A and B are shown apart, each in its own frame.
Chain A
Amino acid sequence: MSGGTYLGMPAFPKAAHEAVRDETLRGNLRHATHTIRAKRATAVAEVSDWAELREAGKQIKDHTLRHLDRYLVQLEESVTAAGGTVHWAADADEANRIVTGLVKATGESEVVKVKSMATQEIGLNEALEAEGIRAYETDLAELIVQLGEDRPSHILVPAIHRNRGEIRDIFAREMGAWGRPAPEGLTDTPAELADAARLHLREKFLRAKVGISGANFMVAETGTMVVVESEGNGRMCLTLPETLISVVGIEKTVPTWRDLEVFLQTLPRSSTAERMNPYTSTWTGTTDSGTADGPRDFHLVLIDNGRTDTLADEVGRQALRCIRCSACLNVCPVYERAGGHAYGSVYPGPIGAILSPQLRGTGSEIDASLPYASSLCGACYDVCPVAIDIPEVLVHLRERVVQGGPVTREGVRVLVKPAKGHAAERAAMRAARWAFGRPGVLRAGQRLASRTRRFHPRTLPGPGRAWSDTRSVPEVPAEPFRDWWQRTHGGKDTSK
């Protein structure tokens, strides 16, 4: 992820510090996540075989990842046979170069885009802009983000941090500079805002010659691409332009057409909490010139950009099962309070906390802090439709941060050192382990604490202040349990 936008982000706790105090943001996020949480639960409860679907989704993805080389080659063959062209990009820069080159070859200076996490990840819009090509985001939330010169804060609903009033203001203020202005007297009712977006984007869709998309799934067996969406902007971008460029992470591959029967049931219910999303488009290469249904040229750009490094980690690779539904964001109590921007990545929330430090490595301040951006409450794992054990990977990545060890970066096995700033903690953990290995030492410490308890301060010094600023400090009892036990049941137990 060399998108640039997120480099030099502050560590998670620092960014969250601001967000927690932003009452509007807290209110927006609480409202949105609680709305969708309840709906998702209902949508999932409707299907009696959810557990089996979840397990099958996990197994399909795991199997594909374990044989990804084979399936990628098969996918390439199928797409090529159907008239598409496959490109391979090892990193963000290469992907951007390929896409920019393809757009330039058409002679066009603007493109319409379907919401795509992969193109956000590689910073494609900025790369296109640098070459004089304007990229129009057409998903409603992406439009809000683009017009507001903002950053996305949610996988599914990138403008979740904005409420209707803020969206109205952005539309009224900015639409004119990008094309058709917002209607006079625009109010903040969601239906009117959606209508304003329809009018604004219509002319762009109708004249577009190049469309850029991602894909939710790629079927190796048939070469079929799948885009799951709601608004119809996806259909516009996939159908009307003459050239279509799809930028997709290599982990989006599934072996067979049949495998979609699992994900087309679990994805909509997990993401928008619907039985089925309004529109799903599937296409295989290009159609013949006789029908001329859809683009004449189709390019698939397969991107690695840290995915093979993630794949090399036997515990962490499960993150690549992710189908980007965002259910984990919507149930996460930390996301709800810190907001998406604090995660310093296009992938926020619990999945972002395990994906970003794997795709980018744990070298930066933000990436080293992300594995700790969780209370390990496990709600994310519960709702994940492909059963990614996010808490397990978080703890695994914490280990990498504090202890270092072998990792793969850009395909090369390297040994990373423990991150800075954990020396005192490491010493404390070692000391605690030493003491806990010796019950006598533990007991002496407990007694000392009990005897001095009258002198314990109500607020703690140093790192302890993080506790006592908002929470009272527990009082140390007159005697630890083990002393009571020895007094009352003494001699019953022979161990020390």
Chain B
Amino acid sequence: MSSRDLILARVRRALADVPRDDTPYDRAVRRDYLREHGNRSAGRTVDLLAENLADYRALVHRCTAGELPATIARLLAGRGAASVAVPAGLDPAWLAAADVTRMPDSAADTPAALDRVDSVVTACAVAIAETGTIVLDGGPDQGRRRITLVPDHHICVVRVPGQVVSSVPQGLERLDPARPLTWISGPSATSDIELDRVEGVHGPRTLEVVLVSAR
């Protein structure tokens, strides 16, 4: 007997007490928790996102679409970034004002090569206000997961209010589980020393989030 069959047989024997007509999945879970906490306007939801991002030490900036290239250029210059990893589908206008070497996200790059890149600029798939989370789904304007991981400085652009949801349940609804997802809430951190939170370990130690509105 294979271990697969052995384990499945053990499970079935262990569950001898479960009746055949046991409550089916859709009725087994009483989902009377909230779809979102509180009732906010779209504008207030964006404010909450900004507050919660900042609370976990992300640097939050706000601008209009027109101001975005200048904002990104300013942030990169502020870091002294010379090279920037760029997802293939990133709107070229976003980096139009920046004086940096653009490193396209290419499958051939080794991790060591990426380690020499100063910054990365991406969009996101969705942002969750209540938890201060941005989610990347590997879309064309976000690139492979490694480009937002190895460089030490990540600038993530969130289109507000369109990409912002209030809650985790609402965020999951918008996401496709078939895609590789990275949920980011502030820069990397650890609580491993005396259960005290320290920001900045292996992932980017600086996370800058630009909330960009149409006007």
Binding site for B on A (CB under 8 A): 28, 31-33, 35-36, 47-49, 52-53, 55-56, 59-60, 62-63, 66-69, 72-73, 76, 82, 88-90, 94, 138-141, 144, 156-157, 159-160, 163-164, 167, 190-191, 193-195, 197-198, 201-202, 205-207, 219, 222, 224, 230-233, 235-236, 239-240, 250, 255-262, 264-265, 268, 272, 274-284, 287, 290-294, 302, 304, 308-309, 311-312, 314, 317, 408, 411
Contact = CB atoms under 8 A, between A and B. Distances in A.
Interface stretch (B4-12, B76-84, B96-104): B4-12
B184 interface: yes
What 3 pairs across the A-B complex have the smallest Cβ distances?
Answer: A232-B203, A232-B202, A312-B14
Interface in B1-58: 2-4, 6-15, 17-18, 22-23, 25, 28-34, 37, 52, 56
9 contacts: A47-B37, A53-B33, A67-B22, A88-B4, A201-B202, A206-B115, A265-B168, A275-B52, A294-B180
- Interface centre among B9, B31, B202, by most A CB within 10 Å? B202
Given A194-B193, A206-B111, A292-B144, A56 B56 contact: no
Contacts of B34: 48-49, 52
Interface string B172-215: 10000111111111111111111111101111100000000000
A333 to B, nearest CB: 17
A79 to B, nearest CB: 12
Interface stretch (B64-72, B129-137, B156-164): B129-137
Interface residues of B, number: 74
B169 interface: yes
Given A235-B149, A311-B15, A160 B195 contact: yes
B74 interface: no
Given A259-B29, A278-B185, 13 more contacts: A68-B11, A157-B195, A160-B194, A194-B190, A205-B202, A257-B177, A280-B182, A281-B180, A291-B144, A304-B10, A311-B11, A408-B14, A411-B13
B203 A69 contact: no
Nearest to A53: B33
A237 to B, nearest CB: 10
A411 B9 CA distance: 9
B3 A275 contact: no
B112 interface: yes
Given A194-B198, A206-B115, A224-B177, A240 B191 contact: no
B51 to A, nearest CB: 11
A249 B9 CA distance: 16
Contact of A67 (B3, B17, B18, B190): B18
B202 A272 contact: no
A156 to B, nearest CB: 8
Contacts of A311: 11, 14-15
B3 A90 contact: yes
A233 B198 contact: no
Given A292-B107, A293-B144, A304-B7, A28 B194 contact: yes
